[in-house]
Structure 1
Amino acid sequence: MAHERKHYCFIFFFLFLLSIVFAPLSRADNDTQILLRFKNSLSDAGALQNWDESINICSWTGLLCKDDKLHGLKLENMGLSGTIDIDILSELSILNSFSVINNNFEGPMPEFKKLERLRGLFLSNNKFSGQIHDDAFVGMRRLKRVFLAENEFSGHIPSSLAQLPRLLDVDLHGNRFDGTIPEFENSDFRVFDLSNNQLEGSIPKSLSNVDPSAFAGNKGLCGKPLSNPCSNNEQPTPQNDNKTNKHRTLIIIIIIVVIVVILVLILALFIIIKRRRKAKNPNQLMATSMEARASIEPSISIETKSIDSVEDGGGGHGGGGGGGEDFNFVREDREVFDLQYLLRASAEVLGSGSFGSTYKAMIHSGQVVVVKRFKNMNKLGKQEFFEHMRRLGRLTHPNVLPLVAFYYGKEEKLLVYDFVQNGSLASHLHGKRSLALDWPTRLKIIKGVARGLAYLYKEFPDQKLPHGHLKSSNVLLDHAYKPLLTEYQLVPAINKSHAQQFMAAFKSPEASQHDSPGDKTDVWCLGILILELLTGRFPADYVRHGKGASEELETWVKSIVSGEVIDKDMVGGSNGQGEMLKMLRVGMGCCEWNEGSRLEWKEALAMIEEVKEKDNMEDESSGFSEWDLSFYSETL
């Protein structure tokens, strides 16, 4: 009997070992079959041709793997359509992230709440439509990132979304959500954008510190952080919501009538402008006309919008006028247009930031320009302002966005720029295209930014701040992801108190402590940008205004030193981890809190130029300090 018991124990132990060894293999095989069934449920799935069970699924297009295990689907820009079968996806052993950004899916939002382990949901730039059920996100307590922008969703924002405890990124802009904004359980967001919807009522107090641009394009909203306070009858109550629903048809009819009246008024306004042009401020007329027209005409497609201001540029030329009376063109390679011509062009209000409003206008030739309207730019007299703008117009560098033209008014100034197709760096790192930048692309961007900054240092050797406002939302990317610096050299013209409150350079340690930036302040801003690119973390305190932002940024930098993981979306299958670490060292050298210990701009540029896309296997382990090696082992 004892011998038989030993025999059975050995058999059970052997079967147990077999289950441990072959369980992962069976799960992998099971995931393969599940994914093939999911592919068959899609339409226009030609981009998934290499989904073949004969090869490892981690080699399949659009699959995100970690330690040779599937953890996410990144099916972006593939022209996919059809039905997203949630029941099939729920059979996968692990699915942390699901992205179908920029495809052709349509209809109501699938029941993603069945995927309770999901941490990131990215559905932006599709054709989803209809109302989202109030319980659509119930049970998804791990969900951190929700991107539903640029679809056709309607109805109320679901309360179950607002109740998610770990939510960090929310982007719902460019839909038709209506009603009041629910009270979000979390109020400390990295990305938060509800712009260009049909929301109304008072903004919840928990969101009063969010950047105002997050609520732009919702004419019915009131309260902080917006400048228009709420009256008593605008407070969000269930009674008001019911009245809104009952009278929605009547409101639509009234809106149509108002639109017709506004069109007539705009036509009359144009006639008045022509007759009394000299009696009015042309800058104010442009703002009034563009804002009115943008509110009633179909909007031009916006490529992207940054986290704290719109940074898209325009590019173009017009046909009318000589430009001398209104706009002063500083580049000889552009056709000129006057203010009246711009008023007649198709236009859109992109948003308003800390300096003023930004407009995107399409000239009849098909070219697009961006006009930035600046308030608080009265530091220079008229002659000095003209000289400074002409000096900017003479700048020529492949990584510096050129100024095209400017207008000088007593209270407000206008700056005209070329159009930049791919939007701001901030939107790619933290917005709807947050998964798009790999290590070679980020290295290319860092080198381009550094070269552009070095050029400004050489062109303005007499100024402490050759840029003054360097941050990711002020770096634009063209079609090839070449970076272009913008919003540079504004410090000499911006009112000092306004610059100290809003500009990136004045959040440096030396500016915060001594109320004066130094010769290496722009290098400090470059360091923050490098760390942001390498970690994928947004330095949220750049959008804070006034005192305290510098101390919070110091905490942000120290958190990276203490072991913040380099952005996993960037690492991927690259063998450039050693080069990433070298770039991280450069970023930390630029972020030294003591200005005297900080890198000079020439040193920083030289070190950045030495970084390569891939590791040199011969000297990969040499040249690193003890701190570097420990950081490398902990984070990568």
Structure 2
Amino acid sequence: MKRFHFSVIVFLILIVFRSSGLSPDGLALLAFKSAVSDDPGGALAGWSEDDEDPCRWLGVTCANVSGFPYPRVVGVAVAAKNLSGYVPSELGSLIFLRRLNLHGNRLSGSIPTPLFNASSLHSLFLYDNNLSGVLPPAICDLPRLQNLDLSKNSLSGPLPPELRNCRQLQRMLLSQNGFSGEIPAGVWLEMVSLVQLDLSSNQFNGSIPPDLGDLDSLGGTLNLSHNQFSGEIPSSLGKLPSTVSLDLRYNNLSGEIPQAGSLANQGPTAFLNNPGLCGFPLQIPCQDRPAGPPGRQVAPPVKEAAQERKGLRTGLIVIISVADAAGVALIGLIVVYIYWKLKDHDKCCSCTGKSKLGGEGERRGGCGCWPAGGGGSEEGESQKDAESGGGGGGGEGDLVAIDKGFSFELDELLRASAYVLGKGGLGIVYKVVLGNGIPVAVRRLGEGGAQRHKEFVAEVQAIARVRHPNIVKLRAYYWAQDEKLLITDFISNGNLATALRGRSGQPTLSWAIRLRIGKGAARGLAYLHEYSPRKFVHGDVKPTNILLDGDYNPYISDFGLIRLINIASNDPSSSSSSTGGGFIGGALPAIKPTPTDRPNNYRAPEARVSGSRPTQKWDVFSFGVVLLELLTGKPPEFSSPSSSSTSLEVAPELVRWVRKGFDDAKPFSDLVDPVLFREVNAKKEMISMFHIALACTEADPEQRPRMKIVSENLDRIGP
């Protein structure tokens, strides 16, 4: 209260006695300067009452507002300056303030309720200070507040039920405070915009509110770790989006982990250090309860495992099937399995913590540690060591670096949180965030092929030598008799199939972005066909295998994997003797469709003949269908195919529809995506791409151009 009175007095003195025409916003900021008791770096030294306005002050942003003769303050960012003091109420008079960032200082005291009179605030960053007191209920009176970060303070008390009024809030970060009590129920269904929620490292207790599962806008991580939550995990959390990583570590939760919805996608790291939890994916069976769905194997009881250890070295190794009823598996299960395998080998020394992927590997005291990419500093040395076998044919696993600049420890993989990105015929793919914050994609290939280590390594090395800006880069691989993993870059913005549809189900990409995607994907495929060491055939070109980064640059993924899958699944038909010939020296076997195969509507007509072998002209046709989809916004089949014939005349409905449209001279507006038709200046560019796509989708493979020509023709379109 004394601080409040002092700041009001200073504020009034400045109004009465200021000798210049400093704007009211400047006076409010001078009140903040007066509330700062220590400014060791002189961050506020240039804030002077002699100025007309504060717009040139360090950390202050202004904008002209209609109806005012002077600019108004819209942003204040004085972060990480070691300022001591408190947050004054006068900042609430900045009615046009949109962003207040005071993080990384030593500000103390409570958050003043009058601060929330700044009704234009959409971002409030006060984290990493010494603020205390409760979370003011008036915080949700801000009609535009989207980002709230109060983490790393000393705030306490319960969360107010008024949070239900924060319908526009997108990010609420309250970790590392002293909040306590039960999380209020009945508020989360109202917070319809919430994307990120972090309540970790507090003192919350009671049960987890079931309505947290109603946060269907969440993405990233829902972090409730390091609290005192008790009771069972509500199965309603399974309603959360599948991309949400759940963190419930270090609580007092109990009971069996529900296998509902997105809960089945969580790795074991999401549930660690809850002594009462049991069931999949933890290695703790639930007594007197079913251990899991039919077909799933679980770890033996501790007593039984201890007895087996006396007779067999591998007594604690549990072969865990990851194919459950929903067809979803967890990378955490795999890495925990690897961890126990390494830990329990002859009661050996720890194999983690010293040997880094891409650095110096070592074997201490006969311990079966993994090799670290050959221990050389050059990429060629790493490849040479991998090709020599590296002991991979034995029972122990090899973790091998392909890229000399890529370094992480196996421990990091074991500890990392993970969730399933997708599952298909080419293995299960997970996103794993390493300890340094770098995300990678981990693909599990299979459990067989124990006697085919050299074949596997040769194929991996061939894939690893493919380096192109529009091709996903292989960084490392793991080999064991009953486990094979590929570790690649994680491409952050999903795939082309998702981007074309948009969240509303309608195409949203501009023509410039679509043209960029088409050009980049063509360059990547042309490199695979013409310049890669083995002249690869992709064999499965479609929008889901064209990944996009944040700038919509495309990356070709999933090439060269069919043979690796066959090796890992012990398919003898994948041997070089039975698949030789073609463009890739037998890296792809003949296609053997099964009744359960999903229809691939991007496949060339000749590819629909049973037993046919992939060729580069397959890829050209599939890429042509992708171009038509970019142009029209329509999928290759916008109704069910009229015939299941495998005749060479069969083509996707989209191809036949576009050809008929050009033959009948239909108006251009009838063919192109309505979103693109508004870009009238690009009409000639679109027509040029139509002609390239139609050339790629010729029924006769010999009439299709090579990907090199396709790429060159696309590069001539536009600037």
TM (norm. structure 2) is 0.44
For CA contacts below 8 A with separation 6 or more, give which structure has more relative contact order.
1
Please state which structure has a larger fraction of its residues in helix: 1
